[in-house]
Amino acid sequence: MLLVSGVLGGCDALEELPGRLLDRRTPREKYVAGLGASGLDGTALAADWLTAGERALREAPLVPASHREEGYLAPAEPVAMAYRVAARRGQVIDVEIILPGDSTMTVFLDAWQVEGGSLPPRHLVSADSGHRRLEIDPRRDGEYLIRIQPELLRGGRFSIQLRIAPTLAFPVSGGRENDVGSRWGAERDGGVRSHQGIDIFAKRGTPVIAAAAGVVRRVDETGLGGKVVWLTDDAGNRLYYAHLDTQTVSGGERVESGDTLGTVGNTGNAITTPPHLHFGVYRRGEGALDPWWFVYRPRVTEPRLAVDTARYGDWVRTRSEGVVLRPGPEAGDREGVLLPRYTAARVVAAVGSWYRVRLPDGAMGYLSAAGAEPVAVAVGDSDGARGTNVLSNLTSREYPETILATTQPTSSLAVHGRFQEYLLVRTRDGISGWLRLE
């Protein structure tokens, strides 16, 4: 009986296999479908979770090539973190989220390409379920969106690291970007043609190396390139090395990244120029590509964290009138929204000297840590307010007025912050919430 049962179970699994293989939904989409199957999709909590994910994409800040944020996600407040980054063909975007001490929480990592500068973006890739790292390989120059969202009712301390790096190693041993003397598109032969590569100058005999693992397809000598080597890497790029002084590999040979292919020279039509490597990148169906971005290493220094990390997850308020809530963490970014004095916001994360905060209506932005203060000390009282219900939050779409406490119309409550027509108050029983000015 056990044998028959096992065989039948195996048959059922085999029948289900094609469906599983054809299921192209992302892990997050499957999770949302699971909420529906469980009858949770119609709840206010699930609606807020979905809204947070959509809003994060619309309000994603533009961040530099190397960006690190850390903070705290409150489990009771559905939230998503998103970032917008500019990348080039030939670069790779690496995103990782670290959750100290929590190996069970599911986090959804998804990436999109912004097409035409408008939404909705085109979905590119998602991390496998349970994975907390994602690599995005841009197929064209442009802006890319990355969203990170934990499952419902989960949160805690986190750290997000985003980096942009070249996909290829620098093809001249010991070389650097400053050694490139001629870039893509420079005129050749009096403007008859343009340069379809980069020239990397170095001493004669300097080793020329494989910029990636692959197979040597051709070792030849031509009138234009002199001694050349063609290498097809494992990603399908055809790498062209020209003007070599010597060639040290043979056609069909398998090489690893960093292996020597030859040495720098000035053979071919470079005989009248100083020794250099002409390096080109080609792709079937696309032709020549700009190699610069394949080897350029962005030099971005991450700012030192200079905030009070004990504020993660806490409420803060603006110290004065006109504090700016900026869309991004760059100090030179003067755009943003002027906030009135004592505007309350919850600290979600921090980078450099900036808090990333969430306003009571769900909007997010960056607030200078110098312009924020704790809400512990009251700034006044609620005399004159006609509202009596102390509310838990202002962001839920279906139940925006969850009542925490009801006070007498003549009661005076300590005010610790403001937002639009609401006061952040604390009752005599120690309950904090929002009182509407009716």
Closest CA to 49 of 26, 25, 74: 74
**Distance between CA 267 and CA 60 in Å, rounded?**
50
User: Could you report the per-residue pLDDT of 252-268, keeping only the tens digit for each?
Assistant: 999 999 999 999 999 99
Q: What percentage of residues in the chain have a pLDDT greater than 90?
A: 62
CB 343 within 8 A of CB 417: yes
Query: Residue 386's pLDDT is what?
Result: 59
Burial of 122 (0-12, 13-18, 19+ CB in 10 A): exposed
Query: Residue 155's pLDDT is what?
Result: 87
Query: Residue 398's pLDDT is what?
Result: 39
Of 29-43, 173-187, 276-290, 329-343, highest mean pLDDT: 276-290
Query: Residue 332's pLDDT is what?
Result: 56
User: Could you report the per-residue pLDDT of 232-258, keeping only the tens digit for each?
Assistant: 999 999 999 999 999 999 999 999 999
**Distance between CA 80 and CA 102 in Å, rounded?**
18
CB 197 within 8 A of CB 239: no
For residue 378, pLDDT beyond 80: yes
CB 412 within 8 A of CB 383: yes
Burial code of 370-383, b = ≥16 C-beta within 10 A, e = fewer?
A: ebbbebeeebeebe
The phi and psi torsions of 310 (rounded to 5 degrees) equal -70, -10
For residue 3, pLDDT beyond 80: no
Query: Residue 247's pLDDT is what?
Result: 98
Burial of 412 (0-12, 13-18, 19+ CB in 10 A): middle
Instruction: Measure CA 395 to chain center.
Output: 25
Residue type, 251: G
24 — pLDDT class (breaks 50, 70, 90): confident
Query: Residue 4's pLDDT is what?
Result: 35
Question: How many CA atoms lie within 13 Å of 2's alpha carbon, on the beta-carbon side?
Answer: 0
For residue 10, pLDDT beyond 70: no
Q: Which two tokens stand for residue 39?
A: 């009858």
User: Could you report the per-residue pLDDT of 124-170, keeping only the tens digit for each?
Assistant: 999 998 899 999 999 899 999 999 999 999 888 999 999 999 999 99
SS (H, E, C) the chain: CHHHHHHHHHHHHHHHHHHHHHCCCCHHHHHHHHHHHCCCCCCHHHHHHHHHHHHHHHCCCECCCEEEEEEEECCCCCCCEEEEEEECCCEEEEEEEECCCCCCCCEEEEEEEEECCEEEEEEEEECCCCCCEEEECCCCCEEEEEEEEECCCCCEEEEEEEEEEECCCCCECCCCHHHEEECCCCEEHHHCEECCCEEEECCCCCEEECCCCEEEEEEEEECCCEEEEEEEECCCEEEEEEEEEEECCCCCCEECCCCEEEEEECCHHHCCCCCEEEEEEEECCCEEECCHHHHCCCCCCCCCCCCCHHHCCCEEEECCCCEEEECCCCCCCCCCEEECCCEEEEEEEEECCEEEEECCCCCEEEEEHHHEEECCCCCEECCCCCCCEEECCCCCCCCCCCEEEECCCCCCCEEEEEECCEEEEECCCCCEEEEECC
Q: Tell me what the mean pLDDT of segment 303-325 comes to.
A: 94
* 33 vs 410, more confident: 33
Q: Tell me what the mean pLDDT of segment 342-361 comes to.
A: 95
Instruction: Match 């533009």 to its residue by tokens.
Output: 62
The answer to whether the Cα torsion of 264, 265, 268, 272 is positive or negative is positive
User: Could you report the per-residue pLDDT of 207-229, keeping only the tens digit for each?
Assistant: 999 999 999 999 999 999 999 99
**Distance between CA 210 and CA 224 in Å, rounded?**
21
Query: Residue 126's pLDDT is what?
Result: 96
Q: Which two tokens stand for residue 330?
A: 């760059």
Query: Residue 21's pLDDT is what?
Result: 55
User: Could you report the per-residue pLDDT of 72-89, keeping only the tens digit for each?
Assistant: 988 888 889 999 999 999
**Distance between CA 207 and CA 172 in Å, rounded?**
6
40 — pLDDT class (breaks 50, 70, 90): confident
Instruction: Match 């890497």 to its residue by tokens.
Output: 233
User: Could you report the per-residue pLDDT of 410-437, keeping only the tens digit for each?
Assistant: 577 889 999 998 899 988 888 888 888 7
Cβ–Cβ contacts within 10 Å for residue 280, how many?
Answer: 21
Task: Give me the chain's average pLDDT, please.
Answer: 87
Q: Tell me what the mean pLDDT of segment 38-58 comes to.
A: 88
Instruction: Match 């479908």 to its residue by tokens.
Output: 33
Query: Residue 350's pLDDT is what?
Result: 97
Query: Residue 418's pLDDT is what?
Result: 94
Cβ–Cβ contacts within 10 Å for residue 44, how many?
Answer: 14
* 405 vs 175, more confident: 175
This prediction's pTM: 0.84
* 193 vs 39, more confident: 39
User: Could you report the per-residue pLDDT of 157-195, keeping only the tens digit for each?
Assistant: 999 999 999 999 999 999 999 999 887 766 565 545 677
9 — pLDDT class (breaks 50, 70, 90): very low
Residues 6+ apart with CB under 8 A from 282: 237, 238, 239, 240, 288, 289
CA angle 31, 35, 36 (to 5 degrees): 120
Burial of 103 (0-12, 13-18, 19+ CB in 10 A): exposed
**Distance between CA 432 and CA 424 in Å, rounded?**
7
* 332 vs 265, more confident: 265
